[in-house]
Amino acid sequence: MFDITKVRAAGGRDLLTPENSVMLFVDHQPQMFFGVGSGDRAAIINSTVGLAKAARAFDVPAVLTTVAAASFSGPLLPQLAAVFPEQGAIDRTSVNAWEDEALVEAVKATGRKKVILSGLWTEVCLVLPALSMGSGEVTRYLGTYGSERIAKAVMIGVVPPFLLKTEDNPGGVDAGVFRGIEEAIRADRFAFLTAFLADFYNVDVLGGERISEEAVRASWNVAAGASAKGTLDCVQAWLTDFRADCPASTSPP
């Protein structure tokens, strides 16, 4: 039976503290502001700078990153750079910040295990690195970096580690299915994305109730922004064999 007299104040081990956290500022650049319509630009800048100054005040290390600064997106927000005058931004070409080795190594070098993300585009600047850090790709992370920095790992309803049907994977998907996807992308990738997302979200059943037309359109806009080559490369990425990563998942469930 629960006894209220035995309740004691105690901090949880999962709480953020100045000692276990690192700030990652992702792509605060002029070009990125053009896609932000959910808030006043001055307010967003003030909030970002306030977050940076708070990190500075509490001695929380920060990593700054930009994407294609010279050719497309422009320099790091000057007000943000001014908070960390002794360090530059790590410039990348990858859309997903966590695909850049220099950035990953910079975060690891801080020795902190909890990453606080700040970015302008939630669906790109925040979601992609957050997934790649261990949520959507937890098995890949464990297989590459081990489980030293992982307290627990839970995988629910995950994609199999290998999708292609082969002699040693008879339950996989026939190679013809993937060839068909590639042919559809080459023929008209925008039409393919429309059909793909309709199936992905089960629009014929859930449309208008669980998923809005606007939400589907937003996903289409993100997917359509990828290059033709990048879209095709996604199909080949689905065929990657991750089975060797599974034995490396030694974290407790």
The residues assigned a catalytic role are: 125
- Residue in 7, 85, 13, 79 with CA at minimum distance from that of residue 50: 79
DSSP structural state of residue 65: E
CA distances to 69, 185, 244 from 118, in Å: 18, 33, 33
Question: CA of 229: how far to CAs of 23, 196, 217, 224, 226, in Å?
Answer: 33, 17, 22, 12, 8
Specify whether the CB–CB gap between 213 and 167 falls below 8 A: no
Read off the amino acid at residue 191. A
